[in-house]
Structure 1
Amino acid sequence: MSTTLGSVLLVLVNLLLIDLLFVAFLAVVVAILAKSKQAAFAVMRRNFVGYFSNPTGYVFLCIFVFLTSLAAFWPYEFFNQNLATLDQLNGWFPLIMLVFIPAITMSIWAEEKRQGTDELLLTLPADDFDIVIGKYMSAAAIFTASLLFSQLATFLTLAILTQGQVDTGLIFTTYLGYWFVGLVMLAIGMIASFLTGNLTVGFILGALFNAPLAFASLSGSLLPPGRLAGLLEASGISAAFDDFGRGVISTSSVIYFLMVASVALYVCMVLIGRRHWTGGKDGNTMAWHYIARVLALVVVTGGAVLVFRSWDVVRVDATEGKVSSLSAATKKMIRNLDPDRPVVIDAFISDEVPEQYARTRYQLVNLLKEFRSEASKAGREIVVNLHDNIELFSDEAQLADDRFGIVPVQRTVREKGAVQQKQLILGAALRSGLNKVTIPIMEYGIPVEYELVRSIETVSRAEKKKLGIVSTDARLMGGSVMAGMGMQQVPQHPLVDELAKQYDVEQVSLDAPLEKGQYDVLLAVQPSSLSPDQFNRLLEAIKVGIPTAVFEDPFPAARSYITATGQPKQSPGGFMGGGGPVPKGEIRQLWDLLELDVPTRPGMSAPGTPPMMNPDLVWQRYNPYPNMPMPMNDLFVFIDDQAPGSEDSLSHDSPITRNLHEILIMFAGSVSPKENATLKHTPLLKTGSLAGTIGLSDVQETMAQPDELIKRQGIGGERSIVAVAVEGSASGASEEGAAEETEEEASKSEEGGEAKDNENIKVVYVTDTDLMIPDFLMLRADPNQSDDVRFQMENVSFLLNVVDWLAGEMDFIEVRSHKPFVSSLAMVEEVKMEAAKDERAEVEAFQSEYDEIERVAEETRITKAKQYQDEINKLQRDGKNQAKAQKILQEFRNWEAIEERRKQVAQRTQEREMAKTRKQIRRRADTRVENIQNIVKATAVTLPCLPPLIVGIIVFSSRRLRERENVAKSRLR
């Protein structure tokens, strides 16, 4: 609690410092005005003090703070999205301003006319500019003070909800955008006030004059799609505010607000100065003259806005999580696009998106807009057609289905106390020329920027790099395996589908030698299962410099059809399972080539072949997921930067693992560089200090005995390398175990013929294949599969990084490692986690209680059955009373049938009770969460109104006391 309070205070102080700098800047501007334009400063001070000397000012201030808090936190979408942003307030803010801004501007000039002080004001030794700018700055000061009240209230609420993890930059930038919106609407509202002497009419006209800019964003839904609708949308304040709402300060947005406000102020100058020429003989001519001037300014403003939107000079992402930034690699990719081949992106997002997809939706919208802006700045063309908030059965949804095959997908969600199936659309289609890539669903576990960049590269690149997948027992490309007495079909591994999005994937049989350049990278999973000839060709491919990823597993636990490193390979032998061991590659030749030491112990061997060696397995005592539903032992090794003694467990020296944080390996082996190795070895994955190794035979013997397994593991204290990158010249590698040069090749060399050159070796060696099982791709897409477990494993990113590093695709590694952070409502999440934990504990307690009752009942049934059986056996041994024995046997069978039916009824009853109990527990858990949300809503809406009320009471109390100071007591009432 104290840590959370400290974090909240820290971010609050940070915001106050930023606000202080901003207010100091404004104070400098006012000081310059006071020095150079004393009359304007006098007008500003008079109006500002007059506004807050009136109770009406504080009433409107309370209403403003109340409405902003209500719009920010009351909508259901705020808690459903679970993001610490102001998206809901952004949508409602223009409407709130249509009420609040006229309340400020209606008395700017209308009150002067009503009270007859306008003539006095115009006779001051000041020009029209002084009057207008003084009035405007007083209104801006009033609005700024109001906005600060709202900002502090909103920020404090978000800071508490996020437990101090709120994005200060995003909130400040959003309110900076609100400030610019206010500057424009104040200037327009002043026009209304200069036209009338009635406060009510001034309020109504102020709202009407600002309405077109406020509602311009609705043009797309009111008008048919086309250039006119797009132009009207772009002219509104919502389009210019959009950058600020996403945490970006851009030149185009600032220019828009400043120029529109300047045009409105110029109109005010014309209106206040018309007394000089109305009524004269040239009055009509001057009126048309000023109308032409205003129209010219509008045209100039529109042109300037269009220019800067097409060429945004400066764009600063002020968010702490960099949610509106593109990585350097992405910007480089955009600059390298062919300017003659535009890329078209059609994104479709449904109006309702479940909580787990809210962050993905937020990032997708942000990044698409940044793609468009960056392409415009770089002189490239990326056309973004963003179809947001579409209904599932709308014309746009039908367009997504007909043209791109993007259809609603169904996901199981838990909302409002019920588990339900919900459909959503969150896909994109990318086109360039004749190439097209469709992303049917943006899974929330996959980085959005990576998906978009990879798809853009695919549609814009002429050809892909070639990836060869070596045909081994792993059967990544699919195939058949023996299962029992028949053959079983193995589907293509989903990792291949993932790689095929970026590479031209081919299966490599190694029936013939490979030449350098034939493949950009090879992927060999369990190469020890290759035949000796194929294995030697793989070694030669590595020697000639083909980058290769090797995954060699001493104990493939997840896929039993893969032959382990130290086990003989069995011949398929037909449907009867016949056939003995067949020759396989000598893995020690690969270890010698890569100068690796592998701790091994003698294993099985085939007749007439050298004895095979079983590599030891690594273990580690660390589990970051104590609530994981599946049983685990220490052979499930989490390579985690939070594990005890895990310094540099994920190497910071390699781009493959530099930005990764957690990888799960299972039943993996251990390697280490040989002494005096000439190749460069970079450990990629290492265990922590609470780890060690254990023999494969010990694991196999004690798998069903957890205590014995732990006993054989020992105390550990030995760190192991489970993945390593190997680089260097093959000529410097150890030649032990390498294939000998044939006489024909030697004779060619002696005769001056073509000889093989040793090239640089580039290999990543990983001692596990289980880290690439399809489950990890499913977890990557859907990491929140359990209510109380949030999986963070990055196995898929590691695998893709390995292939990209070998292929030289470093940009993709950088894009994949760019992880923008959006603050979530940690306090609400904590309540949900606690509720889920309590739910699980209660369910387990109920299950344990039922299991105990069932155990006692089973023991009673066994005792009763034994009594029957003993009596029947006794009668059968005596050989007498066979009729009685038959009768007792029949009774026993009837009793068994009754007990079986009773057991089935009890099971069905237990299932109904369990379902009922789960429902009640979930209802209580959801009620806890809903109560927290209701408390937050009520507090966030009511408490912010208190500070302005308190300030108002203090001001009026002090004013009242000053008025009573020199009044005789006899005159006081």
Structure 2
Amino acid sequence: MTNNVTSNVTTALASLLIYDLIFLLVLFTIVALLSGTKKAAFAVMKRNFVGYFSNPTGYVFLCIFVFLTSVAAFWPYEFFTQNLATLDQLNGWFPLIMLVFIPAITMSIWAEEKRQGTDELLLTLPADDFDIVIGKYMSAAAIFTASLLFSQISTFVTLAILTEGQLDTGLIFTSYLGYYFVGLAMIAIGMVASFLTGNLTVGFVLGALFNAPLAFASLIKSVSPSQKIAALIGESGIARPFDDFGRGVISTSSVFYFVLVAAIGLYACMVLIGRRHWTGGKDGNTMAWHYIARVLALVVITGGAVVFLRNKDVVRVDFTEGKVSSLSPATKKLIQNLESDRKVVIDAFISKDIPEAYAKTRYELVNLLKEFRSEASAKGRELQVNLYEDIELFSDEAALAEERFGIEPVTRTVREQGAQTQKQLILGAAFKSGLENVTVPIFEYGIPVEYELVRSIDTVASGAKKRIGVAATDARLLGGTVMSGMSMQQVPRHLLMDELSKQYEVEEVDLNSPVSADVYAALLVVQPSSLAPPQFERLLDAVRSGVPVAIFEDPAPVGMSYITATGQPKQSPGGMFGGGGGPAPKGDIRQLWELLEVEVPGKAGMQGMYNPDVVWQPYNPYPALEDQSNPLWLFIDEEAPGSMPGQALSEDSPITSGMNQVLSIVAGAVIPRADSKLTHTEILRTGDPSGLVGGDKMRAIMQGQSTIEREDASLRANVPIAVTVEGDDIVEESTSDAEDSESADEKTVSTPGIRAVYVSDTDLMLPEFLMIRADPDTVADIKFQFQNVTFVLNCIDWLTKEFDFIEVRKHEPIFTSLRLIDSVRDEAQKNVRDRSTEFQGDYDGAIREAQESMQTRMKDLQEEIEKLQKKSGDGAVSRAELQAKLQRFQTQQELEQRKLDVKRTKLERDRELNIRDIQREADDRVTKIQNQVKAAAVVLPCIPPLVVGVIVFAARRLRERENISKSRLK
């Protein structure tokens, strides 16, 4: 490991040890109080604890426990396919491990005392029954604590190395804290089994049997015909209360559950150890039933308390560093504002086998749904969450999802274990409230899960949406036909409209009539310069009247080439045969700039047009795209050279605050005027160096015929390409013309001020960005970080003042991946790319050489035919001879072409085989690293307890052989 990684691992381990130290200080405080007030109990605890670890058998059990936890945590293949540094696999197997380990600890608690006859000695101590029981209990708890700490440290070190020190310490600590509480409850129940028998084997078996209902209660739903009974029994086990700990949350309801279960077990032990006082008396049988009734009453009271406290947490804290189990304040506000008389029901379906790309989405979805349920219950809101998790594709739950909600299995191509495979998965949810319903058939792994959930809940809960107007321009966002060249082109509905329709009522506005803010919450206008003059005037009137407007004006559209550029004349629809009467009239975009008090650098063009300059910036954060880099592709990123912190994506605006990266393609500049009376906020800015170039230079660069040369380019650092514009409300007072001013009616008229977003690019909102958002791995081995869709949605929400949704989008939980495996995989894939490029170059060279060789061989024959053709014109060569030569040439040409095709096919096959071999080597390397991690994680933690056990065994044998004559040592 590098020094940086070693430092990160050390820091992470130190933070865990601080957590553990605080935890141990609490335990030591309890033990200290016990030693001072209950000396007999402390003596019993010390005797049992020291006796356990002075025996080699104790270290064998410790070794087995560490081995089993390590196997459960790291051996399942799902650990690497999920690629998350969590303990999900161990969480699933831990109850089974405890069914083996806890009885191994508790079986000798009392049974061994009976077997050795030392129970009578304990009972004659100057101590009451409580001292003996609590002493035994705390000794077992201390043994379990020591074992758990050893397992925790070994597991943490393995995860820290795998994540290169970037580990969620809080999640690991709370998970093991949950294991600790599970152990406390199961130890108390296991002690009951030990008090019932004097046989160690029977004590072990009874301990496992008594704890089995707690461990397997969650599985009852698979065999119970009644869902209500299954839910009641299932939630009575340890799975539900432990779930909070396993997700990094410490809640009072979960702590109370384990404490109350442990209290029941300890009380039952008190009854069993105290039965010697009344079993021999005349009322022995009556007292037995009396105490049984007491225990049952305590169970009922505990069950009622657990149910009552389950969703009424006094304290609920998310200890995860990435806040993966927390709701944003805006989400909590939404839940609090839900109408109590309008129930919202969420049915979520998640299949068992999820591809690696969707692992984070699944993890986040499950966590958030459980937090939704807890938050709604705590606030008394009618929000019901039915979570069908780990379902099979052929199960009844899958059939329910398809038949009732239309959530069907989707197929995705994934690469697992070195091969491309088709995998089906279910990852969807249905939302219903009254007659309103929304279905999310698949949570794509690139879309923010919390935002998708909140938006769907708000839609069904409110039953009403704000209305967004989309201006009918050349962009045709809602679909339609546009003039392209000499023909009409059909434009499909933009994917962004489908995204907006989930939150707003979206309708097209032709601007043939005035637009009122009372009708539309906001207006979206893409390429307003393509509007006809009358429509353009109405747009200006709408902006003046305070209608919130999002404006996207592009000096050179690239992706949507049918959009008329700012400085280009608009093509007339023409007649039937494509003719026309010249360019169609366009609005003067400079009037809009004047109204918004912004400047757009450029120069005047022909026919009264204005050609804006375009912005360049030589920065590309994706090394895999170096061969395709273009300085006109603007990666707006805080990491760009010369970018000022909080300015590339302005922290002063809710739209861009908290965002990381936006890609703009061939954008113009928009600069607030120095003398402006409006409030401008530059929300997207380039870094340094950057600058401006004219249209001719731009086209040459796009065609690869020119590059940016600083000596002839306009240098300008931090060029803004998007701004928000705000103006104060206009208040006018008017007085009637009545002669008596005292009786005149005074009227106050308030007009909303300007509220607009101006973005000098339309390619920023291409449909491809929505596809990349859903599938960031669209291009192999490149994980795009573009947030273009979030930027556009934030612009609309800012205009409509839906700030809560902006805040929800900002709340992105941080997940820790296995960075060591990722780095090995990335290095292997880089090698695949490099070698593939090398093989492609060899292939191209071989093909080029073969083509040149063919042309050389055919050249002499071609020259001979040309000579014959000349002689044929003079009559020196017969037509038959020329025809025969031409036939021979054609035959030879076909033969050479077949040779070339055969060679091309062979070279292609060799190239594909070589690339496949390289890919297989890369996959094999990743698999070997994974296997090495598994072996090290399982074997290495077992060595220390074995070594200590051997040392203890040797020391014990030496003590036994002391003062014994050699003649007796045989």
User: What is the TM-score of this pair, normalised by structure 2?
Assistant: 0.95
Partners of 1:76 and 1:109 in 2: how far apart?
41
Residue pair 1:249, 1:317 contacting (<8 A) in 2 also:
yes
The answer for the alignment partner of 2:877 in structure 1 is 881
Shift of residue 957 of structure 1?
A: 4.6
Q: CA deviation at 1:575?
A: 4.9
- Worse-superposed segment, 647-656 or 956-965: 956-965
Q: CA deviation at 1:699?
A: 1.3
| Aligned equivalents of 2:954, 2:620: Cα separation in 1 | 63
> What is the aligned partner in structure 2 of residue 374 from structure 1?
375
Distance in 1, matches of 2:191 and 2:684, equals 66
Aligned partner of residue 465 in structure 2, secondary structure: coil
Instruction: Report the counterpart of residue 861 of structure 1 in structure 2.
Output: 854
Letter matched to residue 591 of structure 1: W
Matching of residues 241-260 of structure 1 within 5 Å = 241-260=242-261
Aligned position for 2:816 = 823
DSSP-derived class of the 2:388 partner: strand
Query: Residue 663 of structure 2 aligns to which amino acid in structure 1?
Result: L
Of stretches 389-398 and 949-958 in structure 1, the one that deviates more from structure 2 is: 949-958
Q: Any idea what SS the aligned residue of 1:293 has?
A: helix
Residue of structure 2 equivalent to 1:659: 658
Q: Hey, what does 2:830 align to over in structure 1?
A: 837
Structural mapping, 1:780-859, within 5 Å: 780-859=773-852
Q: Give the letter for the 1:585 counterpart.
A: G
Measured against aligned partners, the alpha-carbon deviations of 1:519-572 in whole angstroms (never above 9, x if no partner) come to 111100000100111111111111111111000000001111101111111111
- Verify the 8 A CA contact 1:692 1:713 in the aligned structure 2: no
For residues 79-98 of structure 1, give each alpha carbon's deviation from its aligned partner in whole angstroms, at most 9, with x where no partner exists.
Answer: 11111111111111010001
Instruction: Pick the aligned partner of 2:887 from 890, 897, 901.
Output: 890
Are 2:634 and 1:637 aligned?
Answer: yes
| C-alpha contact 1:633 1:706 (8 A) present in aligned 2 | no
Segments of structure 1 that go 5 or more residues without pairing to the other structure are: 606-610, 733-750
Q: Which amino acid aligns with 1:42?
A: A
Q: Which residue of 1 aligns with 2:602?
A: 600
CA distance in 2, matches of 1:701, 1:117: 96
Equivalence for 1:739: none
Letter in 1 for 2:194: S
Secondary structure (helix, strand or coil) at the match of 1:570 reads coil
The AA in structure 2 aligned to 1:87 is D
C-alpha displacement of 1:322: 0.6
**2:667 corresponds to 1:668:** yes
Could you say if the C-alpha distance between residues 628 and 897 of structure 1 is closer, same or farther in structure 2, counting changes exceeding 3 Å? same
Count of aligned pairs between the two proteins: 950
Q: Which residue of 1 aligns with 2:155?
A: 154
Q: CA deviation at 1:904?
A: 2.7
The structure-2 alpha-carbon separation of the partners of 1:376 and 1:708, relative to structure 1 and needing over 3 Å to count, comes to: closer
Q: Distance in 2 between matches of 1:688 and 1:961?
A: 74
Shift in Å, 1:756: 8.2
Q: How does 1:189-228 map to 2 (within 5 A)?
A: 189-228=190-229
2:590 aligned counterpart, secondary structure: helix
Query: Where do 1:223-372 residues align within 5 Å?
Result: 223-372=224-373
> Partner letter of residue 589 of structure 1?
Q
Q: 1:791 to 1:281 in 2, by over 3 A?
A: same
Residue 759 of structure 2 corresponds to 766
State the partner residue of 2:535.
Answer: 534
Q: Which amino acid aligns with 2:720?
A: I
Note the C-alpha offset of 1:102. 0.5
User: Which residue in 2 is equivalent to 1:948?
Assistant: 945
Q: 1:805 to 1:123 in 2, by over 3 A?
A: same
Equivalents in 1 of 2:895, 2:730: separation in Å? 79
Q: Which runs of 5+ in 2 are unaligned?
A: 732-743
Moved more, 863-872 or 66-75: 863-872
For residues 197-223 of structure 1, give each alpha carbon's deviation from its aligned partner in whole angstroms, at most 9, with x where no partner exists: 011110111011111111101001111
Which letter does structure 1 place at the counterpart of 2:890?
Answer: R
Distance 2:524 2:376 in 1: 35
SS of the residue corresponding to residue 442 of structure 1 reads coil
One-letter amino acid of the structure 1 residue matched with residue 721 of structure 2: V
Query: In 1, distance between residues paired with 2:436 and 2:730?
Result: 44
Q: Deviations over 1:255-290 (max 9, x none)?
A: 000001001100000000000000111111111111
Distance in 2 between residues matched to 1:630 and 1:542, nearest whole Å: 43
- Partner of residue 740, structure 2: none
SS of the residue corresponding to residue 260 of structure 1 reads helix
Q: SS state of the match for residue 280, structure 1?
A: coil
1:769-796 Cα offsets, whole Å, 9 max, x none, are 0011010000000001234211100000
Q: Structure 1 280/479 Cα, relative in aligned 2: closer, same or farther at 3 Å?
A: same
Question: What residue number does 1:721 align with?
Answer: 720
Specify the SS of the correspondent of 2:624: coil
| 3-state DSSP of counterpart to 2:305 | helix
Q: CA deviation at 1:481?
A: 1.9
SS of the aligned residue for 2:621 comes to coil
Q: Which moved more, 1:751-760 or 1:384-393?
A: 751-760
- Comparing 329-338 with 674-683, which one deviates more in the overlay? 674-683
Task: Find out whether 1:905 has 2:902 as its counterpart.
Answer: yes
> Under a length normalisation based on structure 1, what TM-score does the superposition of the two structures give?
0.95
Structure 2: distance between partners of 1:155 and 1:133: 31
Residues 11-20 or 901-910, more deviating = 901-910
Which residue matches 1:589? 591
Between the aligned partners of 1:690 and 1:773, the Cα distance in structure 2 is 26
Counterpart secondary structure, 1:469: strand
Judge conservation of contact 1:349–1:425 (CA < 8 Å) in 2.
yes
Q: What is the aligned-residue RMSD (CA, Å)? A: 1.9
Q: Distance in 1 between matches of 2:425 and 2:535?
A: 48
2:913 counterpart residue number? 916
Contact 1:132 1:265 in 2 (8 A): yes
* Residue 517 (structure 1) shift: 1.7
3-state SS of 2:420 partner: strand
Equivalent position amino acid for 1:840 in 2: R
Alpha-carbon distance in structure 2 between the residues aligned to 1:11 and 1:713: 52
Distance 1:31 1:840 in 2: 63
**CA-CA distance at 1:463 after TM superposition:** 1.1
Offset at 1:364? Answer: 0.6
Whole-Å Cα distance in 1 between the matches of residues 425 and 127 of structure 2? 62
3-state SS of paired residue (2:625): coil
Kept after mapping to 2: 8 A contact 1:787/1:833:
no
The offset of 1:696, in angstroms, is 1.1
Q: Distance in 2 between matches of 1:814 and 1:632?
A: 33
Match of 2:694 in 1: 695
Asked whether the equivalents of residues 414 and 420 of structure 2 are also in contact (C-alpha less than 8 Å), the reply is: yes
Q: Report deviation, 1:717.
A: 5.0
Task: Give the corresponding residue for 1:737.
Answer: none
Matched with 2:72 is 71
Residue range with higher mean Cα deviation, 942-951 or 258-267: 942-951
Q: Which string of whole-angstrom CA distances, capped at 9 and with x for unpartnered residues, describes residues 107-145 of structure 1?
A: 000010001110111000000000000000000000000
1:78-89 matched pairs, under 5 angstroms: 78-89=79-90
- Kindly indicate whether the alpha-carbon contact (under 8 Å) linking 1:472 and 1:524 is maintained by their aligned counterparts in 2: yes
Is the CA contact 1:699–1:709 (under 8 Å) kept in the aligned structure 2? no
SS at match of 1:337: coil
Aligned to 2:738: none
Closer, same or farther: CA 755–511 of 1 in aligned 2, 3 Å: farther
Residue aligned with 1:569, SS = coil
Q: Does structure 2 retain, via aligned residues, the 8 Å contact 1:601–1:615?
A: yes
Structure 2 CA distance for partners of 1:483 and 1:896, relative to 1, 3 Å: farther
Give 1:836 shift.
Answer: 1.0
| 2:110 alignment partner in structure 1 | 109
Instruction: Say if 1:708 and 1:301 are closer, same or farther in 2 by CA, change over 3 A.
Output: closer
Contact residue 728 and residue 762 of structure 1 kept, 8 A:
yes
Q: Deviations over 1:458-517 (max 9, x none)?
A: 000131111111110000010012345432211110000000000011111110112232
Q: Please state whether the residue corresponding to 1:888 is helix, strand or coil.
A: helix
Match of 2:683 in 1: 684
Specify whether residues 757 and 866 from structure 1 end up closer, same or farther in structure 2 by C-alpha distance, changes over 3 A only.
farther
Instruction: Measure, in 2, the Cα distance between the counterparts of 1:123 and 1:701.
Output: 100
Q: Letter of the aligned partner of 1:330 in structure 2?
A: T
